[in-house]
Amino acid sequence: MAGASGRATMLSGRHDVELASLAAMGERAAFSELARRHGGAVRALLRRLGADNALADDMAQDAFLIAYQQIADFRGEGAFAAWVRRIAARLYLKRRRRDARVDLTAETPEPQGGLSDAETGPIGRMDLDQALACLTPAERLCVSLCHGAGFSHAELAEALNAPLGTVKSHVKRGLDKLRVRLSDLAASDQEAGR
Amino acid sequence: MSNLDFEGQLERMFAQAAADDDDLAFARAVSRRLDRAWILRWALIGGLGLVGAGVAAVQLAESDIIERTLALSDQAFRLVMLSLPHDLPAWLAGDGAASGPQTVWVFVGVALIGLGGAAWRAVSDN
């Protein structure tokens, strides 16, 4: 038991790339450490894309299982977290396409399953979620996929089966709204702190 | 703030986890699912191996390969015994009752098991 906790402590000091190499050699504890480090960010991204908590949890686990199967393909050229977030985003898009839920025409923000008040946590930490709630579903999806999962505009257009111009304008409008909303939130945080 | 700075800041915010996420429980859930996948895979491989071994055993039993192997083994043993010098010490030549092809095979089997054990020990010590 002491050996296992010592091993976990040793792994917690390792860099992601080292852990990924160990995981590629079959060291499951190393992969578990990667899941511990980055699971939260992957789930947060899925919630920001529009998944509810249970779905975000399930899909994040699925994304890590796929990452484990493909860990030999991860060469450490980019961040491990970004690589898994991308896998998770692709899974989510696949799921939405299967459910025929990709609609880039809705103009009003929809209530978010994953962004209830109880989950917003300390002020400041969840500013992004509050700001994203002001975007239309299409804008939120496009901004989150571009800036949260690292999709290029062209990849996004292909993944959403939408014209490149439409995707670009959703990202642009979303970013403009986020910039305004985030500065408003920062200003109100500052006032509250006085 | 320039567009590039803002987008960089946004990407950092996206990389953050929610404050209330239980990372340890999530990692455990991922490990459990990995374990389950491994158990299923090994059960499948083991099951297929057992079926294959069963089919092979039935095929062997139905063929006369065992009798032919034993006959060849007897012939080879007789040839070896005939080729041995007549003045070999008794302990080396065997006393007739204990020696035979079966005895040789038992020795070979024991030697292989010993070698396997030594190799296993060497691998696990490293």
> Which tokens belong to A2?
């002491």
The pLDDT of residue A125 is above 60: no
User: Is A148 in contact with B11 (Cβ distance < 8 A)?
Assistant: yes
Bigger pLDDT: A135 vs A7: A135
Interface test with A, best of B30, B32, B36, B41 (most A CBs within 10 A): B30
Among A119, A123, A121, A146, smallest CA distance to A135 is for: A146
Q: What percent of chain B has pLDDT over 70?
A: 84
ipTM: 0.72
pLDDT, chain B, mean: 82
Q: Across the interface, do A128 and B13 touch by the CB < 8 Å criterion?
A: yes
pLDDT band at residue B91 using 50, 70 and 90 as cut-offs = low
Does the pLDDT at position B18 exceed 80? Answer: no
Position A114 pLDDT exceeds 50: no
Q: Which residues of A154-173 are buried (b: 16+ CB within 10 A; e: fewer)?
A: ebbbebbebeeebbbebbeb
Taking the CA of residue B31 and the nearest CA in chain A, the distance in Å comes to 6
Q: Is the pLDDT of residue A117 over 70?
A: no
The neighbour count for residue A178, using CB atoms within 10 Å, is 23
Contact A185, A133 (CB under 8 A): no
- Mean pLDDT value across residues A77-100: 88
Q: Which pLDDT score is estimated for A123? A: 40
Q: Identify the pLDDT of residue A140.
A: 92
Q: Sign of the CA dihedral B68, B70, B71, B77?
A: positive
Mutation to test the B interface, candidates A64, A120, A144, A183, most B Cβ within 10 Å: A64
Q: Once rounded to an integer, what is the mean pLDDT over residues A80-93?
A: 93
Q: Whole-prediction pTM value?
A: 0.67
Residue A136 in this model has a pLDDT that exceeds 80: yes
Q: Which pLDDT score, from 0 to 100, does residue B123 have? A: 81
Residue B20 confidence (pLDDT) above 70: no
In this prediction, residues A57-75 reach a mean pLDDT of: 92
More confident residue, B117 or B90: B117
Neighbours of B76 (CB within 10 A): 12
- Residue type present at position A111: P
Which of chain B's residues have a Cβ under 8 Å away from the Cβ of A126? 18-19
Q: Measured between alpha carbons, how far is residue A12 from residues A15, A37, A63, A83 in Å?
A: 8, 9, 21, 20
Segment B27-53 mean pLDDT: 93
Q: What does the pLDDT read at residue A190?
A: 74
**What pLDDT sits at residue B48?**
96
- Contact between A60 and A53 under an 8 Å Cβ cutoff? The reply is no
DSSP, collapsed to helix, strand or coil, labels residue B54 as helix
Q: How far apart are CA A70 and CA A64, in angstroms?
A: 10
For the record, the structure tokens of A194 come out as: 């006085």
| Contact in structure between A157 and A123 (CB atoms under 8 Å) | no
Name the burial class of residue A119, with classes exposed (0-12), middle (13-18) and buried (19+) by CB atoms within 10 angstroms of its CB. Answer: middle
* Domain extent listing, chain B: 18-63, 65-126
- What is chain A's mean pLDDT, rounded? 83
For residue A102, with 0-12 CB atoms within 10 Å meaning exposed, 13-18 middle and 19 or more buried, which class applies?
middle
